[in-house]
Structure 1
Amino acid sequence: MNYKRRDLISLTQIRDEELSQIIELGVAYAKGEVNEKLPLQGLVIGIYFLKTSTRTRTSFSSAALRLGAQIISYGPNDLQQNTGETVQDTARILSLMLDGLVARTAGSREDMETLASQDNMAVINAMTEDEHPTQALADLTTMIQHFGRISGLRVLYLGEGNNTAAALALSLSRFSGTQLYFCTPPGYGLPQETMLLAQQYAKQHGSIVIEQHSMVDLPPEFDIVYTTRWETTGTIKKDPDWKEIFRPFKVSKVLMDKYPDAVFMHDLPAHREEEVETSVIDGPQSIVFKQAENKFHGACAVLHWCLKPTGNF
């Protein structure tokens, strides 16, 4: 079947208008406003996860099925890469049989780009160690749902400068007037390359991206307080006492009371009473579970954008 193949490996590889297009499509799916039924009927999507996943794996599997595609799921021990076959050969074989591949490696982006090096199969990055692009797309979909806009939003991110933080920096900075403050523990900030690129985007769009390693001298108002689990999938902390280093960056009710008009976001899974108090995640300011639901709507949008048969939406 002929279709317009697109990969989504990194947010840096798509244009501003494409980023907005995917987010707007996610909002349309969330509102039930996509009229075309089964747009991916007849396609076969591989779901290839080398690391654990609840939301991302379920959202893409469910989205593919509901959009009319069929899926083949692979776990970490299912492909012959486990016995020494190269990523290049694996990609070549899968591309002869699949229309798309949703992959979580939690390793470097290099393997993901190798999977995408063939010409037949669209490849979607469901998380690498340096970026979680589909999480950011779900997050921005949630922001539009709640605020009616992205431009001008003020976001405080607390915790490790991990792949979710990187994706947030590389996406939110591309909307005019946004302010994104990263408060990360010393030694656990965003990679310098990511920050420099996000700040370049910010300069182009009249937005702000700042990183600091303490909780002092923060602006008096935010629209969103965001955190993630401190133990990112597949990573190990270099400091034996790392939890003490992270403790000042916990999201508490006291902190949320300083920003009574802000909402709380978390990419989940949460370690309650570590990075966030239960009273916050279950409290009136939390939109965490709406955010999680938008993983599904975002997955619909990404699959649609990457694999839609030739033609317009």
Structure 2
Amino acid sequence: MTRHLISINDLTDEDLRSIVARGVRFRSGQARRERPLDGEVAGIYFKKTSTRTRTAFSSGALRLGAQIVAYGPDDLQLNTGETHADTGQVMSRMLDVLVARTSGDPAELRQLAAQQRMSVVNAMTADEHPTQALTDLTTMLDHFGRIDGLRVLYVGEGNNSAAALALALTRYAGTHLELRTPPGYGLTREVLATASAQAARGTATIHERHDMAELPGGFDVVYTTRWQTTGTSKPDPNWREIFAPFQVGEELWVGSPDAVFMHDLPAHRGEEVTAEVLDGPASIAFEQAENKLHSAMAVLEWCRRGPVAEPPVAGP
């Protein structure tokens, strides 16, 4: 069976939990010492810049036994008019999995995935960054020993990382996701509706406001992302004034003294987060970045071999 990861919505609850738990096993060194991709070939195609995601999937594929073929933004005949569907058909006869960051349109990845041989992994589109959410949940599970019941404060633009986090976290029992997003820069209606419907089916909750007033406390995680999302620009010339109240500073820890800080990186100190927070004792942002590797390995393994049964992850 060929499995693709284009959206968090492509995963069943079992798949989601399996990938996240497996990522923790890879991080801890407790995963069985196997090379499930031995003899396979992974294509790594990035049309946009990337540090963590590209390195994680390249390194992860090699560690799992695969060989890799890397493509730059100008290497494929897509640039001369070949369709994504035809490109996918050709690549599927030579590759076993393709990790792709294209122009940002998820329809392009769906076309690459319109074949039965090669798995396709979304390495970020304009609407969603699913492998980032899997990294985030892996980090939470590794740090807290659980995801159920966690309270997460997300501050900043409702971008592709926020969308994926909302779609993933609301699958877990008793979680609460509080989003504080600048006016005009929140989650899309579609993503908020889907995440809210998921939460309503269980015991999770999700809430979005466009200010920083009346902020509740008791959060386990404070999360932000850089204001200028990779590969995007903002039409409003005064957008920095709109975003300024949403900077993450030490004052957010008054009501949540035990919270950890997470950031999908790259970070811009003095903009979305102060240096005191990013480099402070509450920050696990760079452990989160490392987990990109472990989560990527779990994703690749799932794509090629399916869910892996593992014993429950022990608490911290």
Give, in whole Å, the separation in 2 of the partners of 1:81 and 1:202: 40
Correspondence for 1:195 among 169, 179, 192: 192
What pairs with 1:77-116 in structure 2 (closer than 5 Å)?
A: 77-116=74-113
Q: For 1:74-109, what per-residue CA distance to the aligned partner results, in whole angstroms no more than 9, with x for missing partners? A: 111000111111111111111110000000125121
Q: Are residues 106 and 202 of structure 1, via their aligned partners in 2, closer, same or farther at CA, if it must alter by over 3 Å?
A: farther
1:124 equivalenced with 2:105 (yes/no)? no
1:148 equivalenced with 2:145 (yes/no)? yes
Q: Which consecutive unaligned segments of at least 5 residues does structure 2 have? A: 311-316
Q: Runs ≥4 in structure 1, deviation > 4 angstroms? A: 309-313
**1:255 Cα deviation (Å)?**
2.2
Correspondence for 1:163 among 160, 165, 181: 160
The answer for the alignment partner of 2:232 in structure 1 is 235
Paired residues of 1:229 and 1:271 also in contact (CA < 8 A): yes
The answer for the alignment partner of 1:175 in structure 2 is 172
What pairs with 1:187-266 in structure 2 (closer than 5 Å)?
A: 187-266=184-263
Q: Are residues 12 and 208 of structure 1, via their aligned partners in 2, closer, same or farther at CA, if it must alter by over 3 Å?
A: same
Q: For 1:244-293, what per-residue CA distance to the aligned partner results, in whole angstroms no more than 9, with x for missing partners? A: 10000000122234421110000000011100001100000000011001
| 1:307 counterpart SS class | helix
The total of aligned residue pairs comes to 310
Q: For 1:36-63, what per-residue CA distance to the aligned partner results, in whole angstroms no more than 9, with x for missing partners? A: 3211100000000010000000000000
Correspondence for 1:37 among 17, 34, 44: 34
The answer for the alignment partner of 1:287 in structure 2 is 284
**1:205 Cα deviation (Å)?**
1.6
Paired residues of 1:158 and 1:183 also in contact (CA < 8 A): yes
The answer for the alignment partner of 1:51 in structure 2 is 48
The answer for the alignment partner of 1:14 in structure 2 is 11
What pairs with 1:263-278 in structure 2 (closer than 5 Å)?
A: 263-278=260-275
Give, in whole Å, the separation in 2 of the partners of 1:312 and 1:242: 47
Paired residues of 2:302 and 2:308 also in contact (CA < 8 A): no
With 248-257 and 259-268 compared, the bigger mean Cα shift is at 248-257
The TM-score normalised by the length of structure 1 is 0.96
1:296 equivalenced with 2:278 (yes/no)? no
**1:312 Cα deviation (Å)?**
7.3
Give, in whole Å, the separation in 2 of the partners of 1:273 and 1:217: 24
Paired residues of 1:115 and 1:123 also in contact (CA < 8 A): yes
Paired residues of 2:22 and 2:308 also in contact (CA < 8 A): no
Give, in whole Å, the separation in 2 of the partners of 1:41 and 1:109: 29
Give, in whole Å, the separation in 1 of the partners of 2:84 and 2:286: 36
Q: Which consecutive unaligned segments of at least 5 residues does structure 1 have? A: none
The one-letter amino acid of 2:123's match is A
Give, in whole Å, the separation in 2 of the partners of 1:40 and 1:58: 17
| 1:268 counterpart SS class | coil
Paired residues of 1:64 and 1:303 also in contact (CA < 8 A): yes
**1:5 Cα deviation (Å)?**
2.0
The TM-score normalised by the length of structure 2 is 0.96
The answer for the alignment partner of 2:305 in structure 1 is 308
Paired residues of 2:174 and 2:204 also in contact (CA < 8 A): yes
Give, in whole Å, the separation in 1 of the partners of 2:309 and 2:224: 36
Q: What is the RMSD of the two structures over their aligned residues, measured on CA atoms?
A: 1.4
**1:123 Cα deviation (Å)?**
0.3
Identity of aligned residues (%): 59
Give, in whole Å, the separation in 2 of the partners of 1:301 and 1:65: 13
Paired residues of 1:179 and 1:209 also in contact (CA < 8 A): yes
The one-letter amino acid of 1:251's match is V
